[in-house]
Chain A
Amino acid sequence: MAKWYFEDFELGQRIALPPIRVSPEEIVAFAREYDPQPMHIDPEAAARGHFGGLIASGWHTAALMMRSLATWFREAEVQSLGSPGVKEMRWLTPLRPDVGYAGHFEVRELRRAASRPMGIVGQSTVFADPAGTEAFRVAGIGFFACRPEARA
């Protein structure tokens, strides 16, 4: 399979991402380490709380989005060079265990870097549950290598 370079992105392109699905054990394990609040680590307290059950830490959600992106990068040999940041992330509805969330990456902006053989891709990534309710939404930018023949 051919490698995916900056030149392979098109404005408005929508790319389906590998789905996100997380077990209650994974939610608790991540939160014990990084975000040990009751709604993330204690199913019984979470059931009594205002979220009505165990939910993933927002930072776990962000890491799971990264896993989905990184899986796509690997499967499609996308030549990612990392990211300087994220404009906005919104946790719209809680990420719950054992639910499959489908996501896509939409290309919003394409710009060739002036100083390096790479391009800057502005993107919007959204994941939603099977009913179509959006769980989270991210707007950010990523760096991607240019095709070798385009590097002159």
Chain B
Amino acid sequence: MNEVRYFEDWRPGEVLRFGRRTVTAAEIKAFAAEFDPQPFHLDDEAAKTSIFGGLVASGWHTAALLMQMLAQVKAFVGANVAAAGFDDLEWPVPVRPGDTLTAEVEVLECRASKSRPDRGLVRFRQQLLNQRGETVLRFTSPVLFWRRGRAPQAAAAGGA
């Protein structure tokens, strides 16, 4: 996984597992204070009486933690052109302080671009799991990768 992968290097059906990260109450509150200051992400007491029954991470914090793990893996960020966004994102189970998260990514589909011969689209199913194996975040995402030998110089340095 720690080698650059081009469009041709991805195979549908492959599953990659990586990353391990324990989430603290302090970082849940710090992220929430900046981006998502709702009581159940920020305030232990208010969170107890919320529908979550306790402090939970902002869903966008959870998503950023998956990106943090992906960014450590050259296969994902070595020869990517751009990500278009995501589809069907769900937070089935909340992330609570002390949870340890790991990432799992499955290759769903690889499609060469018809109009741009230098790139192709890889669609992934991405997930974060907690220490009980429960999915806390899942979505699919279309990511464009350079084809082998077609990446411009700047991209070979890491995507920009």
A residues in contact (CB < 8 Å) with B: 30, 33-39, 42, 45-46, 48-51, 57-60, 62-64, 66-67, 70, 73-74, 80-91, 116, 136, 143
Contact = CB atoms under 8 A, between A and B. Distances in A.
B88 A63 contact: no
Interface residues of B, number: 41
A70 B85 contact: no
Contacts of B139: 86
Contacts, number: 115
Nearest to A118: B51
Contacts of A136: 85
Contacts of A34: 64-65, 67-68, 71
B68 A88 contact: no
Contact of A38 (B61, B90, B160): B160
Nearest to B34: A67
B98 interface: no
Contacts of B158: 37-38, 45
Across the A-B interface, the 10 shortest Cβ-Cβ residue pairs: A49-B160, A38-B160, A39-B160, A85-B90, A90-B85, A63-B35, A34-B64, A86-B89, A89-B85, A63-B60
B85 A88 contact: yes
Interface of B: 31, 34-38, 40, 50-52, 58-61, 63-65, 67-68, 71, 77, 81-92, 139, 152, 154-155, 157-160
B52 A82 contact: yes
7 contacts: A34-B68, A49-B160, A82-B40, A82-B59, A85-B59, A88-B87, A116-B51
Contacts of B77: 37
A89 B71 contact: no
A60 B81 CA distance: 18
A48 B160 contact: yes
Given A35-B71, A50-B160, A116-B51, 7 more contacts: A30-B64, A33-B64, A45-B160, A62-B60, A73-B38, A84-B90, A88-B86
A140 to B, nearest CB: 8
A83 B58 CA distance: 10
A37 to B, nearest CB: 5
Contact of A50 (B37, B60, B154): B154
A67 to B, nearest CB: 5
A64 B63 CA distance: 13
A67 B34 CA distance: 7
